[in-house]
């Protein structure tokens, strides 16, 4: 259960969306059917690159991150903008190209690196009592 860190709803939704995108990079698949291969389904989901979608950064607003330095907010905004550009170029009728996937992943990794303390604090269990 995520720690209930007081934060604006919009920021919380953005953090949840980024977390969801990260989960889609390495999906966990469970089934109680013996004739279904969870390995195959997970590989299919990874190949579908469901994380490469603009919805995962749609709720981003730089002013929701006062804990970041101005330089970090600028870097984050740039990475978000680049991610949006890549996702806008992905055809809705087919898979992303390998170049789109690599570029999107590079920008998502940058977003996550900048937000790592926020992501960790959000999902870390509250042990304060």
pTM: 0.77
Q: Among the ranges 19-28, 80-89, 115-124, which has the highest mean pLDDT value?
A: 80-89
Quote the pLDDT of residue 121: 85
Domain ranges of the chain: 9-123
- Closest by alpha carbon to 27, among 15, 40, 45? 45
pLDDT tier at 8 (50, 70, 90 boundaries)?
A: confident
Q: What is the mean predicted confidence (pLDDT) over 102-113?
A: 96
| pLDDT score for 7 | 75
């Amino acid at each position: 259960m995520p720690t209930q860190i007081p934060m604006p709803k919009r920021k919380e939704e953005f953090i949840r969306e980024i977390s969801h995108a990260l989960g889609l990079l390495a999906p966990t698949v469970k089934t109680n059917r013996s004739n279904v291969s969870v390995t195959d389904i997970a590989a299919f989901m990874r190949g579908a690159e469901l994380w490469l979608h603009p919805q995962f950064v749609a709720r981003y607003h730089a002013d929701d991150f006062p804990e970041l330095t101005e330089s970090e907010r600028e870097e984050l905004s740039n990475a978000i903008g680049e991610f949006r550009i890549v996702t806008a170029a992905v055809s809705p009728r087919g898979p992303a190209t390998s170049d789109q996937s690599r570029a999107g992943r590079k920008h998502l990794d940058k977003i996550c690196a900048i937000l790592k303390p926020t992501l960790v604090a959000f999902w870390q269990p509250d042990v304060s009592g």
